[in-house]
Structure 1
Amino acid sequence: MENYRMLVGGSLIDGDEMADVINPATATVVAKAPVADAAIVEAAVSAAHAAFASWSIVPQAERGQLVAQLASGIEAQSAKFARLLVEEQGKPLGLAEMEVGQTSLHFARVCEHGNDRGSPSR
């Protein structure tokens, strides 16, 4: 069974509590997920605001390359992501595979058509 952590400000952290992730199709606990309290939420929001300042000045072409890497990473791990969706949502495997594939494709298409969305090139 997996015990997940939260990514806040570039660091993996635990919550004060863990919540069961239950497969609705089998009613079995398949993982434990951390619960974020108000302090963790505030830290995450602060980290996001801080990251925005540096991310916003990254040239669009470089952002596109990073998002393309994200798309490739999702595609490379698509079987694992699909299994996770089946376990945590009780979703049929075929639908889970389609959802993960669509997610990867969406990010790839955003990279291909970034300039078509009216964003200024840098």
Structure 2
Amino acid sequence: MRWINKLSPKEILELHKYAVYDDTNGIDGIYRDRESNHINIDFSENWPYEDGTPSYIPTNYRYYDFDYEDCDTNGEPNNGAYRTWLAKRFGKEYINDMLRRKLGVDTEALKELERDECESN
């Protein structure tokens, strides 16, 4: 967990609202375990009553460096938006780390390709 642990609670809430569920009132708890590869977070999300009246309840998620898991519903995670937000926050270093760790891409080889292309132009 190199990246997700660098975020403040305020940033985690911003990330959640952007990538997961925009009608989130706040964070009820963040449980960080340095031994695991994720953090558990309880967000206060609006799960409205049938008549539309808001009902904010704790909803648990697991946040990893490159993905998140929704532990309480069957919703399909939007990891693209999640990764995009983190890439904007952390920049090129995050993207290179994701390519390396998540996809097995040799980012050093990509740098060599880029240099070769620049030299040929």
Normalising by structure 2, we get a TM-score of 0.26
Structure with bigger helix share is 1
Greater relative contact order, per chain length (Cα 8 Å cut-off, separation 6+): 1
Q: TM-score, length-normalised on structure 1? A: 0.26
| Higher-strand-fraction structure | 2
